[in-house]
Amino acid sequence: MQSLRAGALLFVFVVVTLCLIPYQALLLRFGLPGRKTFPQRYHRFLCRLFGIRLSVTGTPVQGEGVLMVANHTSWLDILVLSAVARVSFVAKAEVRSWPFFSTLAKLQETVFVDRVRRSQTGEARDHIRERLQAGDALVLFPEGTSSDGNKVQPFKSALMGAAEARMDTGAGGAVRHVPVQPVSVAYVGVHGLPMGREFRPLYAWYGDMELVPHLWEALQTGPIEVVIEFHPPLTVDSTGGRKALATLSESIVRRAQARALAGLAPVADAGGATVLEAEGLAEAAA
């Protein structure tokens, strides 16, 4: 039965996606506003299809350039983050050559970065900076790789230099830099039960795992629960530079992920944000 369910879900995913690719391509070709909102609706559909239940705390920054920095556990991070906010992603250059999935990444206006060649870091940082100044919301995974989902790895600060970009001036002519919003993602439940360390690798995609077999295994295992927390934005001004910004963001995300994995309630931000179901948040943001 598990294989039958997984096969049915995979069939629907492929058919629906192939039908929708031309639509998003047209939105991009003509620069229509829907090119930003359609991926969110598509990923909300996929979360419902795959049985991914999202609990969200806090509010994503939308409507202006923002660099969201999140921990990276799985290819599922793309689905869940895009389901709750209008975002594009910063991905490693290898994704550009992946069959099928590279098309999906390009249709979501992904920024591809060569993390191996250090000479390309400055160019990638400048590209990210241009997108932020144009008002895009970009998700960066500063760990530089995915993990087993049980802990957060150190945040690298190189690409976070894009946060030093100046936006429009604020009140009194003061310079305003790009806001950086830490985002924590935790995979906490499967079939309504705590996921635990033994089950998390079924969803965490890391090391030398092959993508397609891992996707199939995840679909066979069943519905999951994911906790996402959007934390108050930071800036290079308030933290003292990109390295301090990376360190503080890492600390915030690490503590929040640990709370979620322990089954503890998230701490409300200064605005008194409450936990919302992902669909409700997405509807409010649309």
Cβ–Cβ under 8 Å, residues 90 and 138: yes
pTM: 0.88
Structural domain boundaries of the chain? 2-285
H helices within the chain, ranges in order? 2-29, 34-50, 76-84, 101-107, 121-133, 196-199, 211-221, 236-239, 242-261, 278-285
SS3 34: helix
pLDDT in tens for each of the 286 residues of the chain? Answer: 788 989 999 999 999 999 999 999 999 999 998 999 999 999 999 999 999 999 999 999 999 999 999 999 988 999 999 999 999 999 989 999 999 999 999 999 999 998 666 666 778 888 999 999 999 999 999 998 888 888 999 999 988 888 887 776 555 566 778 999 999 999 999 988 888 877 787 787 777 778 777 788 888 887 899 999 999 999 998 898 899 999 999 999 999 999 999 998 876 544 434 333 333 333 333 3
pLDDT for the residue 286? 37
pLDDT for the residue 273? 40
pLDDT for the residue 196? 80
Q: Which of 162, 140, 161 is nearest to 71 (CA)?
A: 140
Q: Which CATH architecture has domain 2-285?
A: 3-Layer(aba) Sandwich (3.40)
**In the numeric block, which tokens belong to residue 199?**
């089950």
pLDDT for the residue 103? 97
pLDDT for the residue 284? 34
Cβ contacts of 16 within 8 Å, gap of 6 or more: 45
